[in-house]
Amino acid sequence: MRKLFSLLFLCLFTATSLTAGERYYDFNDRAQAIYTEIFALELDRAELDIQAFRRTNPTNLVAEHLESYLDFFQLYLSGNERLDARLESRFDRRHEALESGDDDDPFYRYALAENYLHRSLIDLRFERYLAAFRNLNRANKLLRDNAERFPAFLPNYKDLGVLHAAVGSIPPSYKWGVELFSSLNGTIAEGRREMQRALLDTESPFYLETTVVAAFVELHLAGNPERAYRMVNELALNPEASGLHCFVRANLAIYNGRNAEAIRILEAQPRGGTATDFPYLDFMLGLAKVRSLDPLARIHFQSFISRYAGRHFKEEARQKIAWSYLLQGDEQNYRKTILNINGGSNAGGDENAAREAAADRPPHVGLLRARLLFDGNYCTRARAQLNAIDQQTLTELEKLEFLYRTGRVYEGLKDYENALSFYGQTVTKGRDNPAYFACKSALQAGLVEEKRSNNQLAEEHFRTCLDISPAEYKAGLHTLANAGLSRVK
């Protein structure tokens, strides 16, 4: 605390004792070294080095830009809302300092915009959606103005590309909020073009960051996980030495159905040392292991819960711990664990866990095994689990889930005709059911037809998805459906 207050005092003194004419932005070798420290998650060392940088370079505003990255990672990794309250004044001070820079420098608006972007991501994490929209809008205006004044300044297109692609994926039912609170607009195609333009600057100090961001746009918004995987694998990442590199590589492996590879990467994650703790990596490792039906996955979920200061993902982690007991036939410990869930966040996984706890009804073990195995891309094993289920013993909701999961497994096995048949049955029988199965089936049918270049059929399925309003995962499913529409129309 003493170090933090000393740093804040130094920052405030520096921000008020210099005139605007003295300020400039120079991403020099020392700044590059601190930036590298931050992305290695050596955040305590970076904090001290930024403080030293300010003493020796008191008029170089790159220190403010670096501190914006620093605060973002501190808050995002920890989920600590009390820390957020303490760091909020640093955001305001940074903004004031950055505004005193040279208006004719392309870094002037870029650094201001990044300060807003980093803050908006924290606002989204802590579910302050109105504040997030406002900060995204401010960043967008700065970036747009910067592109008009300095069209050759390529780092600008990294952020514009993400904003335009993200806005282009927002479903129509949510667009009113964007239009009401911001001037944001764009399409996924526009965002991808801008990301590719940013990647032309291979000498940029932000090139590695830009490539990873572009890969995640391909993964989550462009519907191209294979391309995203290739992009990341071509980078010189070292997941055994960097928690952030570990997260990126494992995340892409999971989304590409390479569960065993994800487990290998996550088990080799760096532990101990001076880097800032990254407990979410153990959450990911727990997910990967439970998808291989390894009951010891609960060890990693328990590690995450004990180390993570935030409230997100914890209910989902407890749900997965409960599942690990159920997989072993231990319903007593399942019930004991599931009763500890009482709702902690609005995240889809946490909400799903809270609903399961409130229902006080364990999932069907055979369907659960099939679900987990499919999520790990063990499709042949998943199909065997489904074949072993006596459908006459299932409830109406379980029968609907059986249809959906059978369609998913056929899709994973690339038997698209059977997949589409089961997706169609799920939509027909479950359109009015509050479960997400029908909505997700329509989405997957659209993705299958898009993959087969049947764009008109894909569009019909995506629109069906948007017409269904399940009680869970609605926003995420509709976002993906709208992203699909933007690609096939």
Q: Quick one: what percent of the chain has pLDDT higher than 70?
A: 93
Mean pLDDT of 87-104: 94
Would you report the helix, strand and coil content of the chain in percent, each value rounded to 5? 70, 0, 25
Burial (CB count <10 Å: 0-12, 13-18, 19+), residue 415? middle
Within 8 A by CB and 6+ apart from 77, the residues are 41, 276, 277, 278, 279, 280
Tens digit of pLDDT for each residue in 411-427?
999 999 999 999 999 99
Q: Determine the average pLDDT of the residues in 455-478.
A: 94
Does 348 reside within a domain? no
Whether 199 maps to a domain, the answer reads yes
Domain encompassing residue 28? 2-267
pLDDT at 20 over 50: no
DSSP three-state, residue 248: helix
Q: For residues 319-337, give the mean pLDDT.
A: 96
Residue 390 vs residues 117, 199, 256: alpha-carbon distances, Å: 52, 53, 31
Phi and psi, residue 145, nearest 5°: -65, -40
**Does residue 21 carry a pLDDT above 80?**
no
Domain annotation covers residue 141? yes
Structure tokens at 166: 């993200």
Q: What is the pLDDT of residue 171?
A: 63
Length of the chain: 489
pLDDT digits (tens, 9 = 90+) for 257-271: 999 999 999 999 999
Number of domains in the chain: 2
In whole numbers, what is the pLDDT of the chain averaged over residues? 91
Q: Which residue, of 267, 297, 327, is where some domain finishes?
A: 267
Over residues 110-118, mean pLDDT: 97
Q: Taking residues 284-299, what's their average pLDDT?
A: 96
**pLDDT tens, residue by residue, 347-398:** 778 888 998 999 888 999 999 999 999 999 999 999 999 999 999 999 999 9
What would the mean pLDDT of 27-31 be, rounded to a whole number? 96
DSSP line for 325-369:
HHHTT-HHHHHHHHTT-------HHHHHHHHHHHHT-PPPHHHHH
Q: Could you tell me the pLDDT band of residue 180, with boundaries at 50, 70 and 90?
A: low
CATH number of the structural domain spanning residue 379: 1.25.40.10
Q: What is the pLDDT of residues 335-344, one digit of tens each?
A: 999 999 987 7
| Burial bucket for residue 102 (CB in 10 Å: 0-12, 13-18, 19+) | middle
Residue 335 is assigned to a structural domain of this protein: no
Residue 19 banded pLDDT, cuts 50, 70, 90: very low
CATH number at residue 161: 1.25.40
Three-state secondary structure readout of 299-335? HHHHHHHHHCCCCCCHHHHHHHHHHHHHHCCCHHHHH
**Lookup result for tokens 């966040």:** 345
pLDDT at 243: 97
Q: Could you tell me which residues are beta bridge partners of residue 60?
A: 24
The pLDDT value recorded for residue 177 is 61
Q: What is this structure's pTM?
A: 0.88
How does residue 187 score in pLDDT terms, banded at 50, 70 and 90? Answer: confident
Residue 220 included in any domain: yes
Query: What gap in Å lies between CA 317 and CA 131, rounded to an integer?
Result: 28
Write down which residue in 267, 288, 320 finishes a domain. 267
- Reported as a pLDDT band with limits 50, 70 and 90, residue 471 is confident
Asked if residue 149 and residue 261 are part of one domain, the reply reads yes
Same domain (yes/no): 263, 388: no
Cα dihedral 176, 181, 185, 187, rounded to 10, equals -60
Of 235, 267, 299, the last residue of a domain is 267
The answer to the question of residue 310 being in a domain is: no
The region, left, alpha or beta by phi > 0 then psi within -120 to 50, assigned to residue 313 is: left
Q: Is 56 found in the same domain as 203?
A: yes
What are the tokens at 17?
Answer: 């004792």
In a domain, 343, yes or no: no
pLDDT band at 477 (very low <50, low <70, confident <90, very high): very high
